[in-house]
Structures are given as structure tokens and as C-alpha cells.
């Protein structure tokens, strides 16, 4: 019996030594696999346009965006801390007038004077306010002695796909982009996720690497289908 035990020990020792030698490698590989599975890619979104509000008159077109943007804002592949903002865009017949916006949100008034962008040929105003959960915005536009009362309505509908699902669909559509930018430390890039509206809602998804190169995707916001892809 003792002889048989000795023989078994002689056989088992080399096997145990091999297992001990390779155990750290196995643990490391398991750790890498677990790390990739647990990555929350949505946490790397550095610009998130989560709502769009529209209102029109015969002469004016008012567009209001609810956004969450990083500070400082830069397409450098690094996602920094973000803050919620409201961005107002106004198209008018000419850019020589002075417009002031007043907006009612949950019983409080916000707004200010819009500045004119000669390059984009539109008026613009931005201020710190989270309007992502609103369905409509009651606005007053003042131009000289003329006052315009407008109600800007959200383009979001019950059937609009959730932003996290939009990003998940893009990952399924283009796994190569995410795999090449992911390692054991996380995601080596940042993501732009912008709600658009052109007769229907869409999402623009931009994946930016550390060189500033952008992989761009256009996604149908109603069914989540990727409609187009553009590589750097």
C-alpha cells in the first residue's frame, strides 16, 4: 500500500507543480475576460443629446437641445466629467435683430439674450439647466416691440428606443470598433450620442479614439436599426 502511495505521489507532484506555475496565467486571463464583460460603455459618453424640442412660426424656427457635455469639451478620445445644459437655436429671416428668450420650466424662468452666429446664420444661447424630462417648453421670444409666444414640443415618443439600447445595437453592428479600443483597463475612447430630428427621430453615434479619429453611425431612433456607418 505504501509503495502504491509513493508511486501516486511521484506522478502527482509534477502535475501539481505545472498547475501552480500556470495558475497565475489562468487567473490573469479570467480577470481580463471578466473585465471586458463588465465594461459600461455608456459611462464613456462625453456628449449626450437626450432631447430635442421644436417650435415654428411663419418666420421663425426655434430648436432647443437638452445636452450633457464634458468639460473641457474636446474630441480627443478621453471622456471627462459632464454637466447638463440647455442649448437654444433660432433661425430668423435676418441676423440684424436682437432676440431675448424667456422659458418657463417647473415654475421658474430661464433664458437670456441670444447671440448671432454669422457662420451658421442662426441665433444661439446656452445655459446650465436640465430639461431632459420635459415634454414641452413654454417660451417667449422678444424682438424689439414684437413678442412671440411659442410652445416647443419634444420629438421623443413612447416608441423611441432608449439611448443605452441604441449604443448596444451599434456595438452589435460594429464589434470590431469596440474590441480594438478595449483592453483590460477599459475603453480607450469617448462616445458622442446625439438625438437628431429630420421628419423622424434618429441618433448619431460617434466613437472617437485617442487620435481623434471618429467612427460615425446613423441609427433609426424608432427601431434601433443602424442605417449607415462611416470610418475615419
Of 181, 184, 171, residue with least CA distance to 211: 181
Sorting pLDDT into bands at 50, 70 and 90, what band is 13?
A: low
DSSP code, position 129: -
Is residue 211 within 8 Å of 229, Cβ to Cβ? no
Among all chains, which residue has been given the C-alpha cell 454669422?
118
CATH number 3.30.300 given to 49-154: no
pLDDT digits (tens, 9 = 90+) for 152-176: 999 999 999 999 999 999 999 999 9
Say which CATH architecture domain 158-230 belongs to: Roll (3.10)
Distance CA 99, CA 113 (A): 6
Output the pLDDT for position 23.
47
pTM for the predicted model, two decimal places: 0.82
**What are 88-137's pLDDT values in tens digits?**
999 999 899 999 999 999 999 999 999 999 999 999 999 999 999 999 99
Distance CA 117, CA 89 (A): 10
158-230 and 49-154 share a CATH fold: no
What SS3 class is residue 61?
Answer: strand
Residue 4, pLDDT > 80, answer: no
Rounded to whole angstroms, the Cα distance separating 141 from 122 reads 14
Paired with 100 in beta bridges are 113, 142
Domain boundaries, the chain: 1-38, 49-154, 158-230
pLDDT digits over 174-190, tens only?
999 999 999 999 999 99
Residue 148, beta-bridge partner list: 141
As a three-state string, the secondary structure of 190-230 is EEEEEEEECCCEEEEEEEEECCCCEEEEEEECCCCCEEEEE
Amino acid at each position: 500500500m505504501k509503495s502504491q502511495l509513493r508511486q501516486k505521489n511521484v506522478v502527482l507532484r509534477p502535475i501539481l507543480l505545472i498547475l501552480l506555475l500556470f495558475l497565475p496565467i489562468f487567473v490573469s486571463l479570467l480577470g481580463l475576460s471578466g473585465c471586458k464583460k463588465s465594461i459600461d460603455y455608456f459611462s464613456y459618453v462625453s456628449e449626450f443629446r437626450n432631447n430635442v424640442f421644436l417650435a415654428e412660426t411663419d418666420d421663425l424656427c426655434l430648436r432647443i437641445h437638452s445636452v450633457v457635455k464634458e468639460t473641457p469639451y474636446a474630441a480627443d478620445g478621453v471622456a471627462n466629467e459632464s454637466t447638463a445644459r440647455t442649448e437654444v437655436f433660432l433661425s430668423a429671416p435676418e441676423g440684424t435683430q436682437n432676440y431675448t428668450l424667456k422659458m418657463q420650466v417647473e415654475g421658474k424662468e430661464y433664458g437670456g439674450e441670444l447671440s448671432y452666429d454669422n457662420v451658421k446664420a442662426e441665433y444661439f444661447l446656452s445655459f446650465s439647466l436640465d430639461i431632459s424630462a420635459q415634454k414641452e417648453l413654454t417660451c417667449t421670444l422678444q424682438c424689439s416691440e414684437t413678442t412671440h409666444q411659442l410652445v416647443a414640443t419634444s420629438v421623443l415618443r413612447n416608441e423611441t428606443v432608449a439611448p443605452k439600447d441604441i449604443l448596444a445595437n451599434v456595438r452589435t453592428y460594429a464589434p470590431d470598433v469596440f474590441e480594438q479600443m478595449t483592453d483590460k483597463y477599459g475603453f480607450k475612447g469617448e462616445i458622442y450620442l446625439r438625438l437628431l430630428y429630420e421628419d423622424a427621430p434618429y441618433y448619431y453615434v460617434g466613437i472617437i479614439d485617442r487620435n481623434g479619429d471618429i467612427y460615425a453611425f446613423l441609427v433609426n431612433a424608432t427601431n434601433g436599426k443602424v442605417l449607415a456607418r462611416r470610418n475615419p
